[in-house]
Amino acid sequence: MTDRMPALFLSHGAPPLADDPVWPRQLKAWARKLPRPQAILMISAHWEEAPVTVSSTVGAPLIYDFWGFPEKYYQVTYDAPTAPALAETVGGLLASSTTVQVDQSRGLDHGAYVPLVEMYPEADVPVLQLSLPTLDPRSLFALGQQLAPLRDDGVLIVGSGFTTHNLRAMTQYVDSPPLPQLAEFDAWAADVVTKGDIDAILDFATKAPEARIAHPRTEHWAPIHAILGAVSASGDEKGATEIEGSWIGLSKRSWTFG
């Protein structure tokens, strides 16, 4: 048995992340601090599908799920090994509640590969992506609880979203300050995640300030609920801030758990 892996919630950014003068360095430094994973399980805000589905175990092209960007962003590749053994293990862990489907046509979307290009640029760690079967916080928490044993097998579970995600609140410049409402939600998130206040995080829609402004739709916050489930049994629910600040007005705050 390997040492227990941490779990992550990261704010993944759009494809121009690669051109930002700060963010790629932050992600690289974060990855260097982490134990070397045997495999990575990515839970991205950009794949909602029920029942639970995993990405291709035989290889499929990346999904360029964005529009209107320069051509160079559609030429990015990330040929990480597939993870059929991890897919089988995930299926076994979730067997009591659901049958896990495999979509062999599904490659990694930008919520998965954009940060991984920066964190593991050699693309030498097997990667599997898992769909969000729901946006319900407690259901995702329960899903994460079922996935928790993966951490003892060297699997890095990564929730990839955005701490605030309101496209209408984006600013013109990378370093412009966020709207006050988004800054208020970010400060709340920093507090409750650092404290490990699971109840507050799961009930963010009613307990967080400006929740509907920070997340008009909640898919970019949803992965943190699965991550909390994966770390709760081991007492690792207090998140350590790894990245903070904003990018185009959105909070890029990210945490390590465990």
- Could you report the per-residue pLDDT of 192-229, keeping only the tens digit for each? 999 999 999 999 999 999 999 999 999 999 999 999 99
User: What is the pLDDT, as a whole number, of residue 162?
Assistant: 96
Report the chain's mean pLDDT, rounded to a whole number: 95
User: What is the pLDDT, as a whole number, of residue 247?
Assistant: 82
Average pLDDT over residues 251-256: 96
Given a cut of 80, whether residue 164 has pLDDT beyond it is yes
- Residue 221 and residue 163 in contact, taking contact as beta carbons nearer than 8 Å: yes
- In terms of DSSP H, where are the helices of 75-122? 84-93, 110-119
User: What is the pLDDT, as a whole number, of residue 13?
Assistant: 79
Distances from the Cα of 139 to the Cα of 135, 136, 202, angstroms: 8, 5, 10
User: What is the pLDDT, as a whole number, of residue 150?
Assistant: 98
Given a cut of 70, whether residue 2 has pLDDT beyond it is no
- Residue 143 and residue 93 in contact, taking contact as beta carbons nearer than 8 Å: no
Residue bearing the bigger pLDDT, 182 or 2: 182
Cβ-in-10-Å burial (0-12, 13-18, 19+) of 180 comes to: exposed
Please tell me the total number of residues recorded for the chain in this structure.
258
Measured distance CA(146)–CA(132) in Å, rounded: 14
AA letter at 200: A
Measured distance CA(41)–CA(20) in Å, rounded: 25
Highest CATH level, class, for 7-257 = alpha beta
| Positive or negative torsion for Cα 194, 162, 131, 153 | negative
Nearest residue to 13 via CA among 217, 204, 184, 246: 246
Q: Where are the domains of the chain?
A: 7-257
Average pLDDT over residues 109-138: 98
